[in-house]
Amino acid sequence: MERVENSAANHVVMEIEPNKQVVPGLSPLSETLWRDKAKTEFVGDVSARLTWKDLSVMVTLNNGESQKVLEGLTGFAEPGTLTALMGPSGSGKSTLLDALSSRLAANAFLSGTILLNGRKTKLSFGTAAYVTQDENLIGTLTVRETISYSAQLRLPDKMPWSEKQALVESTIIEMGLQDCADTVIGNWHLRGISGGERRRVSIALEILMRPRLLFLDEPTSGLDSASAFFVTQTLSGLSRDGRTVIASIHQPSSEVFELFDRLCLLSGGKTVYFGEACEAYEFFAQAGFPCPALRNPSDHFLRCVNSDFDKVKATLRGSMKLRFEAGDDPLEKITTAEAIRTLIDSYCTSQYCYAVREKVEEISKFVFHRERLNGHYGVASYVIGNTLSAMPFLILITFLSGTICYFMVHLHPGFERYVFFVLCLFASVTVVESLMMAIASIVPNFLMGIIIGAGIQGIFMLVSGYFRLPNDIPKPVWRYPMSYISFHYWAVQGQYQNDLKGLFFDNQRLDLPKISGEYILENVYQINVHRSKWVDLGVIFSMIAIYRILFFMLIKISEDVTPWIRGYIARRRMQQKNDNHDTPTASNGLTKSPSLRTYVKNRTSEGKSR
């Protein structure tokens, strides 16, 4: 691993040169890590070329209706390039980013093809990284500690700690964080690093694995112009290392826009422009919407495709107090809807659209060497990991609270009885946590999950034999099977036996013998004393296993079965709509919107007929 140490020592942050030649693959450090992860020999290029063709996304609303979010998108992203997804709010840029990164919501259905290096494959662990807009960082840790802990958890176990440290230091230098490496991140009461530095820390955590694909959702959101420029410059530097970087950007400055290699402009879920960012000026000028001098190009592009601009124009025109001279801005003469249709129609008939489709076909025909990579942890690993990670906390709280309660109220003394008391308390807390995890997997709302869980717990308590004796509980449903399903029933019976067995109580009449605990258990609390208390404890532990298995099954259903069912329903509804409406449809089955050119042509023919 000398290559790792040398690369880490010699890697420095430099100014992004516009004409700098892009490395065809990953850096020596990245390629070395990938060889270690794959446990196989790599031959040639290990970069990633992502293509999408006729990509459409439909979502199922709460009322059962289906709505198109993306429609017929085609594009590509190559190594060594920074691709920006732009568009007004609600245009579908975040949905496109989620679709490309395989992070769509459960109620979304995707159609079309997404290829990685010319093949349909799932993005495995280490292949791609996704930087969310929300920064989930521990404010009390320093930048170096945060990245180091992430390296210990995510890098291969066989990798020596010295090599992990070299990788951490190279990542800190690569992201330009060396000046604040020993500064705490900070939170609401602890002053720490700036917002731009926090965003770069989030990116550093994801590039530790040296991913070939890097997705970023609004990386410059909430940052000032200088921080936004430096973050984007850092992303451009990462792409120059041979990575494929795709980011959704809301409103970049002119300096930030110049750092983009490729631009994908969306409006209403459709492609308005896809191509080189520097060629967007010429495209809009040819379509009749040239960018005025001294105007931010990104502001001009978004202004052309943002329907909210019509409301602003209508408000200004309706004001009697303001007077405007007629300008040469084409946007003042037509509505935004007409401008969008014109731009979409111009794009579909332009050389840019044909060039994109030819490039997608070219990339799809490439044959790359087979790679074996470690996959994401599955549902079973998640359930097991979640269970094991919660055990120390549950053991601690049950041991402390159980010990205090046991000796404070002077329960039946004895080590074996103390152990049973603590174990029964631990099992009860764990079964509650397991039940709530199962509920949380199917109830998306946090408050609704608490309400449902509390309701189930309340019913279980009513049939536990504490508020009403077991024989007094109505037998249909409540006694059988509800009381046997309730873990409270088994916990109460076991704890009663643990405390009362072996005790003797004075009778109200001195001439009568003492009353045994077994007699009280059998005749007062209606508990079967011939059943061991350890059987009751075993039933509770079996409930833990059952709820965890149920948790596993519900997650699998939510991930695999539910999306398939919703997708099938969405396809059926789309087919029915296409059959019932005589509207022109595209080759992929999606309805075409009438273009401005067709509208003008129809109006002209009507005028001639008159």
pLDDT tens-digit map of 589-598: 444 444 444 4
Each residue's pLDDT tens digit, 302-331: 877 775 544 444 443 444 444 444 445 554
**241 by DSSP, 3-state: which?**
coil
The residues, any chain, with a CB within 8 Å of residue 552's CB and separated by 6 or more, are: 379, 380, 383
Q: Check whether 124 has a pLDDT greater than 90.
A: no
Q: Angle CA(443)–CA(448)–CA(451) in degrees, nearest 5?
A: 120
Cβ pair 176, 234 in contact under 8 A: yes
pLDDT computed for residue 105 by the predictor: 78
Question: What kind and span of H or E run contains 200?
Answer: helix 195-207
Residue, of 71 and 4, whose pLDDT is higher: 71
Q: Check whether 30 has a pLDDT greater than 70.
A: no
DSSP state at residue 184? B
Q: How far apart are CA 27 and CA 47, in angstroms?
A: 10
pLDDT computed for residue 544 by the predictor: 92
Cβ pair 30, 242 in contact under 8 A: yes
The average confidence (pLDDT) of the chain is 74
Q: Check whether 333 has a pLDDT greater than 70.
A: no
Domain(s) of CATH 3.40.50.300: residues in the chain: 47-127+212-376
Each residue's pLDDT tens digit, 145-164: 888 888 888 888 888 888 88
pLDDT computed for residue 424 by the predictor: 92
Question: What kind and span of H or E run contains 58?
Answer: strand 50-60
401 phi/psi in degrees, rounded to 5: -65, -40
Most confident by average pLDDT, 232-246, 347-361, 381-395, 444-458: 232-246
Least confident of 382-396, 408-422, 553-567: 553-567
The residues, any chain, with a CB within 8 Å of residue 85's CB and separated by 6 or more, are: 93, 96, 97, 246, 247, 248, 249, 264, 266
**76 by DSSP, 3-state: which?**
strand
Q: Check whether 542 has a pLDDT greater than 90.
A: yes
Structure tokens at 160: 């020596």
Q: Determine whether domain 47-127+212-376 maps to CATH 3.40.50.300.
A: yes
The residues, any chain, with a CB within 8 Å of residue 282's CB and separated by 6 or more, are: none
The residues, any chain, with a CB within 8 Å of residue 266's CB and separated by 6 or more, are: 73, 85, 86, 87, 91, 92, 93, 96, 272
- Looking at residues 68-88, what average pLDDT do you find? 88
Structure tokens at 521: 């258990």
pLDDT computed for residue 343 by the predictor: 53
77 phi/psi in degrees, rounded to 5: -140, 130
Least confident of 174-178, 305-309, 368-372, 597-601: 368-372
**Residue 250 identity:** H
pLDDT computed for residue 521 by the predictor: 82
Nearest-CA neighbor of 254 among 275, 284, 285, 225?
A: 225
- Looking at residues 579-588, what average pLDDT do you find? 50
Q: Check whether 541 has a pLDDT greater than 90.
A: yes
- Looking at residues 235-246, what average pLDDT do you find? 87
pTM of the model: 0.53
- Looking at residues 185-210, what average pLDDT do you find? 83
Estimate to the nearest angstrom the gap between the alpha carbon of 136 and the chain centroid: 12
263 phi/psi in degrees, rounded to 5: -125, 135
pLDDT computed for residue 21 by the predictor: 42
Q: Tell me the percentage of the chain whose pLDDT exceeds 70.
A: 72
Question: Using 50, 70 and 90 to split pLDDT, how confident is the model at 418?
Answer: very high
Each residue's pLDDT tens digit, 455-511: 888 888 888 888 888 888 888 878 788 888 888 888 888 888 888 888 888 888 777
Question: Using 50, 70 and 90 to split pLDDT, how confident is the model at 602?
Answer: low
β-pairing, 108-116 vs 262-267, is unpaired
Q: Among all chains, which residue has been given the structure tokens 């290392």?
A: 241
Q: Check whether 5 has a pLDDT greater than 80.
A: no
The region that residue 120 occupies, defined by phi over 0 for left and psi between -120 and 50 for alpha, beta otherwise, is beta
Cβ pair 48, 213 in contact under 8 A: yes
pLDDT computed for residue 513 by the predictor: 83
Most confident by average pLDDT, 202-206, 337-341, 521-525: 202-206
Q: Check whether 549 has a pLDDT greater than 80.
A: yes
